[in-house]
Chains A and B, each alone.
Chain A
Amino acid sequence: MKKLLLWRFSMPIVICMALACTEEQNFGQFDDLSVTPTVASSIFYLESTEEVINLTPTAIFYAHTFNFDPFSEQYVADHLLEGVLLFEIENTTSKQLSLSIEFLDENDDVLDVEVFTVDPEPTMLVTRSVAYGPGGKSLDILRNTSGLRVTAENLGDTVSVSTAEDPKIILGSAAEFRFRLQ
């Protein structure tokens, strides 16, 4: 009787341990894992009052070249799949204005340029999306960009004043990049 019970109770453990089995697994699937997050961030923001534009004796009331390395960081350059640069321009001044953003390489050579010409107020918010990667501009433009030159030019007069409250020109920009982490 004892032997029978011993058999009945202990054998399931032993059998389970000895004959434990599993359905077929394919650990090689891990190589197929695709991790491609989209990273979003603002890039550059310029805001100027109409008073500054009127007081500047030359047509170009803002021009600045500065280093901008995040696109050319090795990790970004190696893992960038595609990206979109977003621009928003709002002009509530009384002048037609031109804004340009030049993408410069290490030698300050121009890789690409985005130019915006905006009419005096009243005008709609100007937006533009520029795609890079498949179906868009070359990713090499971003990968080789190490500086930006931002230029703002007054195409109108220097005396008129907008009727809008607190008239300004505003340039906003952001990036949404998709990376391959795995």
Chain B
Amino acid sequence: MKLRSQFFLITLFSLGLVHAQNKQLLYDFYEIPQSLILNPGVKTSEKWHTGIPVISGLSFQAGSSGVSVNDLFANDGIDFTTKVRERLIQGMSRKDDFSTTSQIEIFNVGFRGKNRPDDYYSFGMYGETDIIVYWPRDLAILAFEGNGGANIGRSFDLGDLSFRGEMVNVLHFGINRKLGNSLTVGARAKLYSSIFQFKSTSNKGSFTTRLGQDNIYETSIDVDMELQTAGANEFIDIAEEDTSNTKSDMIDLFRKRALLGGNLGLGFDAGFTYNLNPQTTITGSILDVGFIYNAKDVRNFTVNGSVTNEGLTVFLPEDITELDNDLWQDLVDEVEAAVPYGENDSGYISLRPVKLYGSFRYDYGEMETTFTEDCGCAISVTEKTNRNMYRNSVGAQLFMMKRPRGIQAALSGFYQRRLGGTLALKTTYTVDKYSLTNIGLGLNLQAGPINFYIMGDNLLAYRNVADSNYASLQFGFNIISWNDN
């Protein structure tokens, strides 16, 4: 049964089951100005562009490397606890993650230098939210099954708890320069204004209950865990106050943090486009090589130590004079002293999740170009050549991203079709650990100076969104000029 009315509910739930920042449809789609964000060294043809504020670039991605909504909530008559046990608790590994990434472009402007027409400058601001939570497998099993029964002797890995997240506002300025007909390079400086940040990614330790040396069971805990937070407390305090000003106070604090009033950081992007020959191009870019120094509104939580106990123990004759009636409290105090819980406000550095793109493209099918000397193509114009001369492109793209537990990679094959200077279409097939059937479609439409693009990923999954492991949507509006209009 198909229920379109539940689409938004599913989508909202799915946003908590999100992965990936891969924008394989937008990458190297150089007809769209936002492709500069993914590769500062992308080919640029326009004279200037400006995004329509707030709607120039919106992207939301949703997915799950483990269960889908349908796996758990399908109305299939299977006992829900059984589904949770088999598909979630036992079915997912510590490598599975739940994450969300969204990006909203506030403004984005680009223009070609008057004195240096080979340079294309761009600047703007966008907000980004990135949260990743790895499936804490052992902790989930501990909570679901406990340490007793068949789990006697099992060591639960406390390092399974790993997550990080942040909301950050990014101000950026980039330069894109053509170095001859074959090479375009670019770099972008970024100023990060953090709204909040948290991370707990270096946890270690174990919790084990085994047969004891003296008593029946012996329980040991060896733990070194830390949660670092910055920027969250003031939001929590405002929420807890729950006054009539709560909403406006939240907005004021959000605005202040977004506009350099919170923790700050620096970073850069770099990229290139190189033509091996007129029809073959390779590109590459590295994004978000940067950090944020978190010193304001910091609150960290730590648990560190190790202890083993076999319950209350009395050895005679050694303890014959021990007449304390608070043996249980003594044991609790002993454990708390051995594994102390602490809080501090020490500043810390958080690294941005570095991303890497690379691509190989082969163009074919010559077409009549509509570009003239007014196109702002700088070197290309001077030499009376234009690289927008092929109707079709095929190629492959590689995406890699630094995550707390290693590199997350995706490989895409693509086909792109250009129809004059007004319409360009791109389709991709992407393989990663989350999906083997991810087919995406992107459309770029240039109607006069108005540019509109829309891209959808994993389209096959729209047959049953709830059963999808991945979905994404990007769209935006720009105004682009290739001449003096």
Give residues in A with beta carbon < 8 Å to B. 2, 5-6, 9-10, 12-14, 16-17, 19-27, 29-30, 32-35, 37-49, 51-52, 61-62, 64-70, 86, 88, 150, 170, 172-174, 176-179, 181
CB < 8 Å neighbour of B464 from A10, A21, A44: A21
Which segment of B2-10, B94-102, B173-181, B381-389 sits at the interface?
B2-10
Complex-state Cα separation, A118 to B482, whole angstroms? 99
Q: Mark B445-474, 1 if CB is under 8 A from A, else 0.
A: 100000000111001001111110000010
Residues of chain B contacted by A10 (CB below 8 angstroms) = 425, 441, 443, 454
For A47, give its contact among B4, B148, B214, B423 (CB under 8 Å). Answer: B214
**What's the Cα separation between A34 and B85 when bound, in Å?**
10
User: What is the CB-to-nearest-CB distance from B413 to chain A, in angstroms, rounded to a whole number?
Assistant: 17
Whether the pair A40, B459 counts as a contact (CB closer than 8 A) is: no
B215 lies within 8 A of A21 (CB): no
Is A41 a contact of B209 with CB atoms below 8 Å?
Answer: yes
Question: A33 to chain B: which residues have CB within 8 Å?
Answer: 80-81, 84
Chain B positions 394-424 with a Cβ under 8 Å from a chain A Cβ: 417, 419-420, 422-423
B327 near A173: Cβ-Cβ < 8 Å? no
Can you name 6 A-B residue pairings with CB atoms under 8 Å?
A23-B2, A37-B142, A39-B148, A44-B311, A49-B316, A66-B325
Q: Which residues of B contact A (CB under 8 A)?
A: 1-4, 6-7, 9-10, 69-70, 72-75, 79-81, 84, 142-149, 151-152, 209, 212, 214-219, 309-317, 320, 323-329, 417, 419-420, 422-423, 425, 427, 441, 443, 445, 454-456, 459, 462-467, 473
Query: How many whole Å from B184's CB to the nearest CB in chain A?
Result: 27
Residue among A24, A49, A67, A176 making CB contact with B325, cutoff 8 Å: A67
B311 touching A45, Cβ below 8 Å = yes
Question: Given A47-B316, A66-B327, are A88 and B7 also a contact pair (CB < 8 Å)?
Answer: no
List of A residues within 8 angstroms of B215 by Cβ: 42, 44-45, 172-174
A27 to B311, CA, bound (A): 42
Residues of A within 8 A of B417 (CB): 5, 9
Closest chain B residue to A13 by CB distance? B456
Q: Are B217 and A22 in contact (CB under 8 A)?
A: no
Q: Which of A9, A27, A32, A49 contacts B443 (CB 8 A)?
A: A9
> How far apart are the CA atoms of A16 and B11 in the complex, in Å?
14
Measured in the bound complex, the distance between the Cα atoms of B440 and A12 in whole Å is 10
Contact B209 A40 (CB under 8 A): yes
The 8 A-B pairs at the shortest CB distance, nearest first, are namely: A37-B146, A40-B148, A42-B311, A38-B148, A48-B316, A174-B216, A16-B462, A29-B80
B contacts with A: majority SS: mixed
The reply to whether A65 and B419 form a contact with Cβ atoms under 8 Å apart is no
Chain B residues closer than 8 Å to A62, beta-carbon distance: 314, 316
| Closest residue of B by beta carbon distance from A2 | B419
The answer to whether B462 and A2 have CB atoms under 8 Å apart is no
In the complex the two chains form, is B75's CB within 8 Å of A45's CB?
no
Give, as a whole number of angstroms, the nearest-CB distance from A83 to chain B: 10
Q: How far is the CB of A104 from chain B (nearest CB, A)?
A: 11
Residues of A within 8 A of B146 (CB): 37-40, 178-179
Which of A10, A16, A170: most chain B Cβ within 10 A? A16
Please tell me if the beta carbons of B143 and A37 are within 8 angstroms of each other in the complex: yes
Complex alpha-carbon distance, A49 and B310, angstroms: 19
Q: A21 CA to B1 CA in the complex, in Å?
A: 9
Interchain CB contact under 8 A, A30 and B80 = yes
Task: From known contacts A38-B146, A67-B325, infer whether A25 and B316 are also in contact, taking CB-CB under 8 Å.
Answer: no
- Of the candidates A5, A20, A41, A61, the one whose C-beta lies within 8 Å of that of B423 is A5
Report A-chain residues with C-beta under 8 Å of the C-beta of B80: 29-30, 32-33
Kindly report which residue of chain A lies nearest to residue B455, judged by CB atoms. Answer: A13
Q: How far is the CA of A170 from the CA of B315 in the complex (A)?
A: 9
A12 in complex: contacting residue of B70, B144, B311, B441, CB < 8 Å: B441
Instruction: Name the A residues within 8 Å of B74 (CB-CB).
Output: 23-26
Given known pairs A42-B217, A45-B312, A67-B326, the reply for A32 and B81 (CB within 8 Å) is: yes
Q: Select B459's contact among A13, A35, A70, A86, beta carbons within 8 Å.
A: A13
The reply to whether B464 and A22 form a contact with Cβ atoms under 8 Å apart is yes
Whether B422 lies near A2 (C-beta < 8 A) is: yes
Query: Chain A nearest CB: distance from B76 CB in Å?
Result: 9
Residue of B whose beta carbon sits closest to that of A68: B328
How near does chain A come to B14, taking the closest CB pair, in angstroms? Answer: 10
Decide yes or no: A42 and B310 within 8 Å by CB, A2-B423, A23-B467, A173-B216 being known contacts: yes
